[in-house]
Structure 1
Amino acid sequence: MRIYVNEIKVKDDGIYCYTDKSTEGLKEAGQMLVDSDNYGFAYILDDGQSYSYLIFVKETWSMLHENKGKTIYINDDLKLEEFDQELDYILSNIKGNSNYGKDFVAEVEEAFELE
């Protein structure tokens, strides 16, 4: 299942993300994938039987970058402990890597100031 982050509120204690579908019963799997065709990052969530993809579209990237280091909460109840580490890892792989597609890499490098 693809779950899209469609609203973000930044507070002193974290980044609060709200989605188009329920995340009840899901836990983070601690892995992030890239959807370079649709300009998104997909953070994997697990319910014990199957995986869901929490999608951060391009419009959310600047808020993630500007508030780096803050804890991320999904729908007020799911705290993402490994998100920052996974995002850092995927960004280090994307920087200058044309395997992700030239346009996608350029957008990521600009949004996250990787140049």
Structure 2
Amino acid sequence: MKKKLLVTGSAIQDGQLILTTEEPVGGLEPKGQMLVDSDNLSFVYLMEKEEEYTYVLLPDFVWADLKKGLDESLPVYLVADGGKVELTGFHGELEYLAENIKGNGNYGETMVSKVESIF
């Protein structure tokens, strides 16, 4: 079974892009890969804990900060309850997905429009 972890906020602090969640992040290992959930207007970063995938959902309300972090090449961290994990490979994956989605109707009109307006 795959666990889903929702990012509930984002901020640029001290030269870092901080993504916050209410779920514990201890023991999560970054996989350096991202997917798209166009039905829910989310990017999905893959992590693993004890050989089980965890999907980190990045909803559209954090995309403006994702774009700023991408433009400024800021390191990206997932933070909760004192735990902090760097999301390796984040920029390359996000950049690739955003470019692939632009003008690509396979992702749905709403997803394409939203990505084009921010990225």
Calculate the TM-score normalised by the size of structure 1. Answer: 0.91
Partner of 1:52: 54
Which is richer in helix? Answer: 2
Runs of 4+ in 1 over 6 A off after TM superposition: none
Partner of 2:108: 101
**What is the rounded CA distance, in whole Å, between the counterparts of 1:12 and 1:26 in structure 2?**
23
- Structure 1: state its 5+ residue gaps: none
Instruction: For residue 52 of structure 1, report the CA deviation from its aligned partner.
Output: 0.5
Deviation per CA, 1:96-115, whole angstroms, max 9, x where unpaired? 11000112101111011xxx
Separation in 2 of the partners of 1:10 and 1:103? 27
Q: Is the 8 A contact 2:31 2:88 kept in 1?
A: no
Q: CA deviation at 1:39?
A: 0.3
Q: Distance in 1 between matches of 2:68 and 2:15?
A: 14
Quote the sequence identity (%).
34
Conserved 8 A contact 2:37-2:44: yes
**Corresponding position of 2:36:** 34
SS in 1 for 2:39: coil
1:12 alignment partner in structure 2: 14
Provide the C-alpha distance between the structure 2 equivalents of 1:22 and 1:12, rounded to a whole number of angstroms.
Answer: 22
How many residues align structurally?
Answer: 112
Corresponding position of 1:92: 99
SS of the counterpart of 1:37?
Answer: helix
| Gaps in structure 2 of 5+ consecutive residues | none
Which residue does 1:79 correspond to in 2?
86
Provide the residue aligned with 2:69 in structure 1.
Answer: 67
Q: TM-score scaled to structure 2, two decimals?
A: 0.88
Deviation, 1:8, is: 1.5
